[in-house]
Amino acid sequence: MPRPPRIATGGIVYHVLNRANGRITLFETPADYEAFVKVCMEANERVPMRVLSYCVMPNHWHFVLWPLTDGDLSEFVGWLTLTHTQRWHVFHGTVGTGHIYQGRFKSFPVQEDGHFLTVCRYVERNPLRAGLVDRAEKWPWSSLSHQGVAGRDRLGLTVADWPVARPANWTSWVNEALTEAELNAVRLSIKCGAPYGAGDWTTRTAERLGLDVTPRPRGRPRKKVSGTFF
């Protein structure tokens, strides 16, 4: 069955992520992270992209992106993923051994209001939630590491102005745990590939983009034997 087309409409904020294949560790040393950020900068030179938030973890990464025009999202993230894969294989001497990512990147539209702030908190809080640091801003490979000030951060990656006002106490807020409802809502968006926002906005956006957001069970369908499933 052919894969559905990647939704890449411009002018919409997206939560974008990808994860390592087979639970491998993509980033082990500072040089690994720096090489990835360098690819991100090169991708931005090829396809101008408003990067609003990001976090690079040992076996996956998150971005919150705001593409300017239709197709920019796929071109930017597709080139980034492919180029990083090629360079990772060359550096580790594993050329020809297969994919390092689970598959194509995932992307989910985000409403430009409090839901946007929740997604950015979710992204920048990742290292703290994973127990890698005791304060989220201590993780050097995220947009929070430079206190969220718009402009080129110490890694050289440009962080754009946000579509909504950044709270003055942003760093403290990121360090506060998301509620169970907030976590479940973000995770449901990731699981279903659904827009993340208020109910009416989510419905309109899904219809506009032709998204099927019906949850599906993981894995292969169970075999039917003698009229029963087991």
**Tens digits of residue pLDDT in 75-131:** 999 999 999 999 998 888 877 677 889 888 999 999 999 999 999 999 999 999 999
- What is the pTM for the complete model shown? 0.85
pLDDT for res 114: 96
The SS3 assignment for 59 reads: coil
The confidence band for 158, taking pLDDT boundaries of 50, 70 and 90, is confident
Is the pLDDT confidence value at 226 over 50? no
201 vs 218, more confident: 201
pLDDT for res 154: 54
Q: Are 175 and 125 in contact (CB under 8 A)?
A: yes
pLDDT for res 53: 94
Q: Indicate the average pLDDT of the chain.
A: 85
Which alpha helices (H) appear in the chain, and where do they start and end? 30-46, 72-92, 114-124, 126-129, 170-175, 180-192, 199-209
Is the pLDDT confidence value at 39 over 70? yes
Is the pLDDT confidence value at 186 over 50? yes
With vertex at residue 20, the alpha carbon angle to CA 122 and CA 219, rounded to the nearest 5 degrees, is 90
Q: Mean pLDDT throughout 139-160?
A: 71
223 vs 122, more confident: 122
Fold assignment, 13-211: Alpha-Beta Plaits (3.30.70)
